[in-house]
Homo-oligomer: A and B are copies of this chain.
Amino acid sequence: MHITALAGGIGGARFLRGLLHHLRSLPSQTPAANARVTVIGNTADDVTLHGLRVCPDLDTVMYTLGGGIHEEQGWGRAAETFTVAEELTAHGAQPQWFTLGDRDLATHILRTRMLGAGMTLSGVTAALCERWQPGVELLPMSDDRVETHVVIDDPDAEGGRRAIHFQEWWVRLHAAVPARQILAVGIEQAKPAPGVIEAIQTADVVLLPPSNPVVSIGTILGVPGIREAMRTTSAPVVGISPIVRGAPVRGMADACLSAIGVSTTAAAVAGLYADFLDGWLVADGDDKDEHPEGVTVRARPLLMGDVPAAAAIAADAVDLAATLRR
């Protein structure tokens, strides 16, 4: 059995950890007990800081599944220290709104070195996973550079608006400044990374964890060929709503949905996936809303407070998929 999931950062990573926990808890004769899991990670919030290439979503998945994550925070390394960052600040190095921990920095130093030596991001990610052993095959959505930029109002800028890197909007401005437009720069030219299309088309189940529907899942789907693969795969596609009763479970997905003129409801997010979505897990009550035709909606508690809670959600997603046929 082969399960493929599209994933952003924290929400995706916690769901995937729950999924692995669930699969490993199954009796060994169950087909799903030995399921192979492929994760297609968002790379559009990648950013170059201090000359080092940082892939926040890939790293969050890698650290979470590999046992290195800062548990409370949900991103970055456990037992992190910030000596290098202190020094960079003492030098006045910019930007200072994104603090890289020492342990985390080693990942970025290695990645930058390998990219500089001509390796693809896929190759680099596989090399980093040699250490982390996340228990999944982690693929970047693309080896080509795609960067999400956010257009914000700026009275001083020409035309009254300017585009900033997604991370600047998310981390420095806490997404509190309205996003007038969200651009995935480079996406039209991007090719899916090796294995991505195959992982969707040959999967037995495709899952959409509760990741940001605009800047995580939405961007992955925007890479030419990926959305088409979602439509044409013979596997049922089951998603978990990142929106619970009109608000994001975590993060600031509402600010992203507003930017694209979509309301912050589970049903509206399902609408973004209507052309390929088969099953949709929503929070109790959200199933009363009108969902796109052809989508089987199930309601259940969606809070991933701990690993068993995430595992139970993943179990329901896999079970729902088993009832669906394309």
Question: Residues of A with Cβ closer than 8 Å to B?
Answer: 50-52, 81, 83-84, 87-88, 90-93, 102-103, 105-107, 109-110, 112-113, 116, 128, 130-131
Residues of B within 8 A of A52 (CB): 109
Asked if residues B51 and A131 are in contact (CB atoms below 8 Å), the reply is no
Asked if residues B106 and A84 are in contact (CB atoms below 8 Å), the reply is yes
Asked if residues A110 and B93 are in contact (CB atoms below 8 Å), the reply is yes
A131-B109 Cα distance, complex, nearest whole Å? 23
Asked if residues A88 and B110 are in contact (CB atoms below 8 Å), the reply is yes
A93-B91 Cα distance, complex, nearest whole Å? 27
Residues of B within 8 A of A84 (CB): 84, 102-103, 105-106, 109
Asked if residues B110 and A50 are in contact (CB atoms below 8 Å), the reply is yes
Q: A51-B116, A90-B131, A91-B128 are in contact. Are A83 and B103 (CB under 8 A)?
A: yes
A5-B113 Cα distance, complex, nearest whole Å? 36
Asked if residues A51 and B109 are in contact (CB atoms below 8 Å), the reply is yes
A90-B131 Cα distance, complex, nearest whole Å? 7
Show 27 A/B contacts (Cβ-Cβ < 8 Å), sorted by A. A50-B109, A50-B110, A50-B113, A51-B109, A51-B113, A52-B109, A81-B83, A81-B102, A83-B83, A83-B102, A84-B105, A84-B109, A87-B102, A87-B103, A87-B105, A87-B106, A88-B109, A88-B110, A90-B106, A90-B131, A91-B106, A91-B128, A91-B130, A92-B131, A93-B106, A102-B102, A105-B105
What is the distance, in angstroms, from A186's C-beta to the closest C-beta of chain B? 20
Task: Return the chain B residue nearest A89 by Cβ.
Answer: B106
A4-B220 Cα distance, complex, nearest whole Å? 59
Task: Return the chain B residue nearest A106 by Cβ.
Answer: B87
A109-B94 Cα distance, complex, nearest whole Å? 12
A106-B82 Cα distance, complex, nearest whole Å? 11
